[in-house]
Amino acid sequence: MWQFLASFLGCLAHLTSAHGGALNYTVGDTWYPGYDPYGGDWQDTAPWMVQRKWITVDPIFETDNISLACNAPGNPAQTSIPINAGDNITAVYYDWVHTVGPMIAWMTDCKGDCRTFNTKDADWFKIGERGLLSGTIELGMWFQHEFGVWDGGPSLWPETIPKSLKPGNYLVRHEIISLHSAHKPQFYPECVHVQVKGEGTGFPEQEYMAKIPGVYNMDMPEINIDIYDPEVSTQTTYKIPGPPVWTG
């Protein structure tokens, strides 16, 4: 009963706070549940868990917050999603309500077992990013808006594991940045463990790499932004911050 009540309250909190995150993943026809942030600690040792632990759908506001890497507390998962280089991984969200700001998918090499990998040692590279699709910064169509469905169905965010990426254990980090509050960016990151298979030998050069936290700061006009400022609101381009995407 208490468990039921707790998760019921969790749902209410989710709806009233109007935040969220990557709750599940799909690869082909296979569905992988993520860590339910209101589902309880028993998930920490669930042998099927592929997502790093997170316990609130609230955003992170600080660009130097250590939890920017894989949310809080970010404990490693027990297992990983097997995926071939060149295949898609789709992150699944529900009830996503924010509409303005970029969405970026990142990866980092776990240099061995992801279960013992500390993201302080991570060099992250982008595998995909989605921004302003058309129109203006304030009122135009962002992928984040198009992606959010309002009928209770899942919001799907597919990205491709670069085809030439060398096999190994990696984290995939899905990050939504919401910019609807002036000068108060909101970061929503979640990480999933993946085991990449294939014949590739590729790996991105240093120019594609970033530290997280580190890649963003409040001196960046794309991050510390007021989308309602007339000088900004009418612009029709938005440069997604960080290194270029490595497509392999």
Chain residues that interact with Cu ion, rule: CB under 5 A: 18-19
Q: Which is nearer to Cu ion, 67 or 75 (CB)?
A: 67
Q: How far is the CB of 20 from Cu ion (least distance, A)?
A: 7
To the nearest 10°, the Cα dihedral for 55, 57, 59, 63? Answer: 40
Closer CB to Cu ion, 18 or 141, in the complex: 18
Least distance (Å) from Cu ion to the CB of residue 160? 27
C-alpha pair distances (Å), 3 with each of 54, 110, 133, 187: 18, 34, 42, 29
Instruction: Compare residues 60 and 165 and give the one whose CB is closer to Cu ion.
Output: 60
Q: To which residue do tokens 């590739």 refer?
A: 200
Q: List, in sequence order, every residue forming a beta bridge with 188; answer none if it has no partner.
A: 176
Nearer to Cu ion, 19 or 130 (CB): 19
Closest separation between CB of residue 30 and Cu ion, Å?
29
Q: Which is nearer to Cu ion, 19 or 52 (CB)?
A: 19
d(CA 67, CA 187) in angstroms, rounded, equals 10
| Cα distances (Å, whole numbers) of residue 178 to 34, 58, 96, 168 | 22, 12, 11, 32
CB of 192 to Cu ion, least distance (A): 21
Residue 137 and residue 102: Cα distance in Å, rounded? 11
CB of 17 to Cu ion, least distance (A): 6
Which CB atom, from 174 or from 193, has the smaller least distance to Cu ion? 174
Taking CB atoms, the residue at the shortest distance from Cu ion is 19
* Shortest distance (Å) from residue 18 CB to Cu ion: 5
Longest dimension (CA), the chain: 54
Adjacency order of strands within the sheet including 186-197: 81-84, 186-197, 168-178, 103-109, 124-130, 209-210
